[in-house]
Amino acid sequence: MQWLNYHHLYYFREIANEGGIAKAAEKLRLGQPTLSLQLKQLEEMVGKPLFDRRNRKMVLTEAGRAALDYANEIFRLGDEMIEVLQDRSLGNQTHLQIGALDSVPKSVTLALVMEAYKAGPCTVSILEGKGDELFRELYAHRIDLILSNFPAPAIERSQVFSKSVAKLPVSIYGSAKFVDLKKSFPQSLEGKPMVMPTLHSKLRHDLNHYFKLQDITISPVAETQDTSLQRTLASHGLGMAPLSEVGDFKDGALKRIGRLEGVHEEVWLVAAERKVENPIAVKLMKSFTLK
């Protein structure tokens, strides 16, 4: 029986990712002859060439592409194992790592954290960022859950679960100087300044569709996905902002001008399949909804 040499597999993966032995050797600070020997020994063990050498370039063979897929999965599982075992070293507390898009209302993130504490003894880490960054972290199992305003995009090698946890009505909010626009709303928004979400968000497309149907032309003065920044800009009178109604408006800086009927912001809770599941994350995927 042949035993897999993980050093061989690691060096093979680096050669594949770097596109050649020279770049991999420079990254690993090893001599090129050493890497060439390691690769040769792996190819001899599997009985097939893993690269085609074409004009000084190394191109993965069909066997090489299959080996790279397995190598990536093997090292991903190794990273997951270390992280899971390190988390278990915190005693009886489970470490839950949550990713939250900047565009998700902070009140929704708070509700999820509070529900996590009810689910069992745990410590919670929250990472805010952009969707592509957070989903990469989820697929690599460096975070357990994502709060997103869109479901997980389809990917090839990871099994991902998305659950809609909230469908929030959206209203227009503004500082005191815009209060008179409550009269004749929403037509009163014609030509008025607006702090909008960015063009790549679903909510922005829904808003554009709403204003088109109502034959209303607004004046976007700023664009951001960060709802906290939207609120700050709007509270300083720069323009009005379309915000979900779950936010905390008790300080009085923002006044509700009117609801955009038929416009909602949907929030999703997303998890990736893991060999060793986080028990708190599992409970939240089953039970958490925003009431």
In single-letter form, the type of residue at position 250 comes to K
Residues 110 and 182 in one domain: no
Q: Is the pLDDT of residue 221 over 80?
A: yes
Position 151 in a domain: yes
Any idea what the CATH number is for the domain that residue 112 is in?
3.40.190.10
> 66 and 205: one domain?
no
Could you write out the DSSP letters of every residue in 168-194? EEEEEEE-GGGGGGGTTTTGGGTT-EE
- The predicted pLDDT at position 131 comes to 82
Return the pLDDT at 249: 66
Same domain? For 99 and 174 the reply is: no
- Do residues 39 and 162 both lie within one domain? no
Query: pLDDT of 60-95, one tens digit each?
Result: 999 989 888 888 888 877 776 776 666 554 556 788
In a domain, residue 233? The reply is yes
pLDDT score, position 88:
52
Q: Are 265 and 160 in contact (CB under 8 A)?
A: no
Residue 186 is predicted with a pLDDT of 96
At 253 the pLDDT is 84
- Lowest-confidence segment of 38-42, 86-90, 103-107 by average pLDDT: 86-90
Whether 216 and 275 map to the same domain: the answer is no
pLDDT digits (tens, 9 = 90+) for 121-179: 888 999 988 888 888 888 878 889 999 988 877 654 458 889 999 999 999 999 999 99
Cβ within 8 Å of residue 140, ≥6 positions away: 76, 79
Tell me what pLDDT residue 89 has. 47
Whether 1 maps to a domain, the answer reads no
Q: What is the pLDDT of residue 156?
A: 47
Instruction: Determine, yes or no, domain membership for 81.
Output: no
Q: Residues, the chain, total?
A: 291
C-alpha separations of 60 from 33, 50, 54, 69, 163 in Å: 19, 6, 11, 12, 38
Q: What confidence tens digit (pLDDT) does each residue in 266-280 have?
A: 999 999 887 778 899
Percent of the chain scoring above 70 in pLDDT: 92
Residues 96 and 110 in one domain: yes
What is the mean predicted confidence (pLDDT) over 216-229?
92
Residues 160 and 178 in one domain: no
In a domain, residue 196? The reply is yes
pLDDT value at residue 260: 96
Which of residues 77 and 235 earns the better pLDDT score? 235
Verify that 55 and 135 share a domain, yes or no: no
Question: The domain containing residue 212 runs over which residues?
Answer: 167-264
Report the pLDDT value the prediction gives residue 58, as an integer from 0 to 100: 86
The answer, yes or no, to whether the previous bond of 186 is cis (omega within 30 of 0) is: yes
Alpha-helix residue ranges (DSSP H) falling in the chain: 6-18, 21-28, 32-46, 62-88, 106-119, 131-139, 202-213, 227-235, 279-287
Task: Give me 217's structure tokens.
Answer: 């032309």
